[in-house]
């Protein structure tokens, strides 16, 4: 594959091809011909001493559809490791323009150039190498940019470079030259395909597969394809995460049941991941269903858990060794909503003070200061609702800093129902332990007059 220098290398090869082939055109016009690869608006047309010019302008780069899905995906969906260096496949679109000051010079020059590209629809590897490394010339004598193009590896890519004339309509040409902001000159458009740019970073290359599943230790033969007489997934799979009582999320100290299939085995551990975790939080289950239908665990509510866990959407998986197998497996990840719990009354066990509410300032504001279980990290958003009125948390530096909310003075005095939303996860306001849902009386705060 080519390197990132391939686009410039293609322009250099095409310019070299035109430059070498226009020797005859220079003799026909009685003067030398300049070949360039610059933007048309940078060409000075006022200098009478300038020779006729042929200019190659790269005006557009598009993805190549034939190579767009090759070697994808290029990263592991689980660990994020690079599996392959997927090529960047591009088609290059050029505008070939002839400039001449005398009668018929531009037409003659454009005719020669178009015939040259017509006769060379494919740029062979030898021609590319000669153009980018013009032996016997000393490459160090050439401009630094051209010296760098010799390392593009354009000649070694798997696809040959093909040059095809493109038909542009009057509207296309009008739009293009208007965008260039210069006067129109006789032109022809070409598509060059395909340029394959590939990275060189190390990738993970797995060894060949020797067996399908576990092998018999005596015969070393694999067990073959296993067939399950049902429509359930053949591998350990999680379906849902449910709390003991139906609610919007799981709070610290809640029991959570992960339901699924084929969860029977040994060495179970529940893994919880979050976008802010550097590593998953690993918990031991409190119960595993003998039929492999569920795994139950309790979210910890001790002091370390306040900083280790985070409110919002967690990804829950179960890692264990299935029955009849010797290696552990990890299930699919399912969402688990970790609900924040605003600390309204003091929590002596965790050393968390009670929430405070003040009305002061000019103009007066109602300031609510409280903490949450688990802690709210500075990267997370927090919104507090008192009945139907909401306020955003003030900026914080550390997770241990309290949450401070400022409400307008129009907030009435008296008791208000409290709801805390962190990263879209709401605290639990409803109590569903009884025969019908009611507001949890502990989720109230009093605003002074």
Neighbours of 172 (CB within 10 A): 12
What mean pLDDT, rounded, does the chain reach?
89
Check pLDDT > 70 for residue 27. Answer: no
Residue 229's pLDDT band (cuts 50, 70, 90) = confident
pLDDT band at 221 (very low <50, low <70, confident <90, very high): confident
Instruction: Measure the N-to-C terminal CA separation of the chain; round to a whole number of Å.
Output: 74
pLDDT in tens, 179-193: 999 989 999 999 999
Residue 77: what pLDDT?
62
Predicted pLDDT at 230: 84
93 by DSSP, 3-state: which? strand
Is 140's pLDDT higher than 80? no
**Mean pLDDT across 74-89:** 74
Which residues in 208-230 are b (16+ Cβ under 10 Å) and which e? eeeeeeeeeeeeeeeeeeeeeee
Q: Per residue in 64-89, is it b (16+ CB within 10 Å) or e — as a string?
A: beebeeeeeeeeeeeeeeebbbbbbb
DSSP of 345-392, one letter per residue?
S-BTTTTBPPPEEEEETTTTEEEEEEEEESPPPTTS-EEEEETTEEEE
pLDDT for the residue 367: 94
Instruction: Pinpoint the residues of the chain covered by CATH 2.60.40.10.
Output: 237-338
Q: Quote the tokens at residue 62.
A: 């598009």
> What local confidence, expressed as pLDDT, does residue 205 receive?
75
Q: Give the pLDDT band of residue 129 (cuts 50, 70, 90).
A: confident
| 360: CB partners within 8 A, 6+ apart | 367
Percent of the chain surpassing pLDDT 70: 94
> Which tokens belong to 101?
């000051």
Give the C-alpha distances (Å, rounded to integers) separating 97 from 84, 101, 148, 205, 210: 40, 14, 26, 47, 59
Q: Name the phi and psi angles at 246, rounded to 5.
A: -60, 125
Q: What is the mean pLDDT of residues 82-87?
A: 77
Q: Residue 134: what pLDDT?
A: 66
pLDDT at 206 over 90: no
Beta-ladder partners of 392 = 383
**Averaged pLDDT, 248-277:** 95
Give the pLDDT score at 327. Answer: 87
**Per-residue pLDDT, 2:** 77
Model pLDDT, residue 167: 93
pLDDT bucket at 72, cuts 50 / 70 / 90: low
pLDDT (tens digit, 9 = 90+) per residue, 90-108? 999 999 999 988 888 889 8
Q: Please give the CATH topology (third level) of the domain spanning 341-447.
A: Immunoglobulin-like (2.60.40)
The pLDDT of residue 63 is: 93
The predicted structure's pLDDT at residue 427: 95
Better-predicted residue by pLDDT, 47 or 258: 258
Q: Is the CA virtual torsion 329, 331, 333, 336 positive or negative?
A: negative
Residue 135: pLDDT band with limits 50, 70, 90: low
Q: What is the DSSP letter of 155?
A: G
| Residue-level pLDDT at 153 | 82
Average pLDDT over residues 333-352: 94
Please report the pLDDT score of residue 378 as a whole number: 94
Contact 299, 256 (CB under 8 A): yes
Task: Please give the average per-residue pLDDT across 199-211, as a whole number.
Answer: 78
Query: How many whole angstroms separate alpha carbon 47 and alpha carbon 105?
Result: 16
Distances (CA, A) of 423 to 69, 112, 311, 383, 420: 35, 66, 7, 9, 10
Q: What is the mean pLDDT of residues 414-438?
A: 93
Pick the CATH number of 237-338 from 2.60.40.10, 3.30.210.10, 3.30.70.260, 3.50.50.60: 2.60.40.10
**Whole-number pLDDT of residue 202:** 74
pLDDT confidence tier of residue 110, bands split at 50, 70 and 90: very high
Q: What does the alpha-carbon distance between residue 180 and residue 177 come to, in Å, rounded to a whole number? A: 5
pLDDT digits (tens, 9 = 90+) for 147-170: 777 778 888 888 899 999 999 999
* pLDDT of the residue at 132: 83
Characterize the bridge pairing of strands 281-283 and 265-273. Answer: antiparallel
**341-365 mean pLDDT:** 91
Q: pLDDT band for 216, please (50, 70, 90 cuts).
A: confident
The residue among 117 and 146 whose pLDDT is bigger is 117
**Percentage above 90 pLDDT, the chain:** 61
Question: What whole-number distance in Å separates Cα of residue 374 and Cα of residue 418?
Answer: 17
Q: What integer is the mean pLDDT of 324-335? A: 91
| Average pLDDT, integer, range 295-324 | 94
* pTM, 2 dp: 0.62
């Amino acid at each position: 594959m080519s390197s990132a220098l391939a686009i410039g290398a293609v322009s250099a090869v095409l310019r070299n091809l035109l430059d070498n082939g226009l020797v005859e055109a220079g003799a026909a016009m009685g003067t030398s011909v300049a070949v360039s690869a610059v933007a048309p608006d940078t060409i000075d047309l006022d200098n009478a001493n300038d020779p006729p010019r042929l200019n190659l302008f790269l005006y557009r780069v598009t993805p190549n559809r034939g190579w767009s899905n090759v070697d994808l995906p290029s990263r592991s969906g689980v660990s994020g490791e690079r599996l392959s260096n997927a090529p960047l496949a591009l088609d290059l679109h050029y505008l070939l323009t002839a400039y001449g000051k005398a009668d018929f010079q531009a037409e003659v020059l454009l005719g020669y150039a178009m015939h040259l590209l017509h006769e060379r629809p494919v740029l062979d590897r030898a021609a590319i190498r000669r153009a980018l490394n013009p032996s016997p010339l000393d490459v160090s004598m050439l401009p630094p940019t051209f010296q760098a193009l010799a390392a593009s590896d354009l000649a070694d890519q798997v696809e040959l470079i093909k040059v095809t004339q493109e038909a542009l309509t009057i509207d296309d040409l009008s739009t293009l030259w208007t965008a260039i902001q210069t006067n129109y000159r006789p032109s022809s458009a070409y598509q060059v395909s395909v340029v394959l740019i590939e990275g060189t970073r190390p990738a993970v290359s797995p060894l060949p597969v020797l067996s399908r599943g576990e092998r018999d230790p005596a015969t070393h033969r694999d067990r073959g394809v296993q067939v399950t007489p049902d429509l359930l997934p053949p591998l350990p799979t999680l379906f849902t995460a449910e709390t003991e009582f139906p609610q919007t999320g799981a709070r610290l100290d809640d029991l959570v049941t992960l339901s699924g299939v084929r969860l029977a085995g040994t060495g179970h551990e529940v893994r919880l991941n979050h976008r802010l975790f550097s590593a998953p939080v690993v918990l031991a289950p409190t119960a595993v269903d003998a039929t492999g239908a569920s795994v139950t665990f309790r979210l910890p509510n001790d002091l370390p858990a306040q900083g280790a866990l985070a409110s919002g959407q967690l990804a829950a998986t179960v890692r264990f060794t299935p029955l009849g197998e010797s290696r552990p497996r990890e299930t699919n990840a399912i969402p688990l909503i970790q609900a924040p719990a605003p600390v309204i009354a003091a929590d002596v066990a965790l050393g968390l003070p009670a929430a405070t509410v003040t009305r002061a300032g000019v103009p007066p504001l109602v300031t609510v200061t409280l903490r949450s279980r688990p802690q709210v990290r500075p990267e997370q958003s927090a919104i507090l609702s008192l009945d139907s009125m909401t306020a955003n948390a003030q900026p914080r530096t550390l997770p241990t800093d309290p949450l401070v909310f400022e409400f307008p003075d129009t907030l009435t005095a008296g008791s208000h129902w409290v709801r805390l939303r962190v990263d879209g996860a709401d605290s639990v306001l409803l109590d569903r332990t009884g025969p019908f849902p009611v507001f949890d009386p502990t989720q109230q705060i009093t605003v002074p007059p």
